[in-house]
Amino acid sequence: MSEDDDAQSSDASDRGDQQGAADDGGTSSAVEKSSSKRGSGDVDKARKGDGKAVSKQAKKKAKADKPGLIARFRLFLRQVIAELRKVIWPTRSELISYTGVVLVFVVIMALILAAYDFAFAKAVFFVFGQ
């Protein structure tokens, strides 16, 4: 690559940066213009977290469109059943195997806990006497 090629590519990138800056300026002024056109009508003074004003009519419509408690509960149950159908259930032999592993682990942990309890009880009786 020669020096002329480097100079041409840097000139092209500089022009691209200038065009990008011009585009950003045009966009921001369009946003400012559109925000200044908003009417004050029945817009609440409180704004949502996203910065958009919410009209009272929109709130009432959203509340009216919201399904009832029973409909939402039925939807929840349908979604739970749909998710449970996706679950890969263990076979009977896998279930027995996993249950055995869990029981052995619980017994081992209980023995360790009992040993610590016994050791600490002996230490307490040694220090404080009986």
Does residue 71 share a domain with residue 59?
A: yes
Q: How far apart are CA 16 and CA 10, in angstroms?
A: 10
Identify residue 1 by its one-letter amino acid code: M
Asked if the model's pLDDT at residue 21 lies above 60, the reply is: no
DSSP SS3 for 45: strand
Cβ atoms of 24 and 39 closer than 8 Å: no
Does residue 82 share a domain with residue 67?
A: yes
User: Could you tell me the residue range of the domain that residue 62 belongs to?
Assistant: 55-87
Band (3; pLDDT cuts 50, 70, 90):
low
Query: Using the 8-state DSSP alphabet, how is residue 66 labeled?
Result: S
Does residue 130 share a domain with residue 94?
A: yes
Does residue 109 share a domain with residue 120?
A: yes
Residue 52's pLDDT is 63
Does residue 103 share a domain with residue 68?
A: no
Does residue 15 belong to any structural domain of this protein? no
Q: pLDDT digit string (tens) for 67-99?
A: 889 999 999 999 999 999 999 999 999 999 999
Q: Is the dihedral of CA 92, 98, 102, 107 positive or negative?
A: positive
Please give the tally of structural domains in the chain: 2
Does residue 97 share a domain with residue 81?
A: no
Does residue 119 share a domain with residue 97?
A: yes
Band (58; pLDDT cuts 50, 70, 90):
confident
Q: pLDDT digit string (tens) for 30-44?
A: 444 444 455 544 444
Residue 61's pLDDT is 73
Asked if the model's pLDDT at residue 22 lies above 60, the reply is: no
Q: What is the pTM of this model?
A: 0.40
Cβ atoms of 98 and 90 closer than 8 Å: yes
Asked if the model's pLDDT at residue 102 lies above 50, the reply is: yes
53 φ/ψ angles, rounded to the nearest 5 degrees: -75, 145
Query: Using the 8-state DSSP alphabet, how is residue 51 labeled?
Result: S
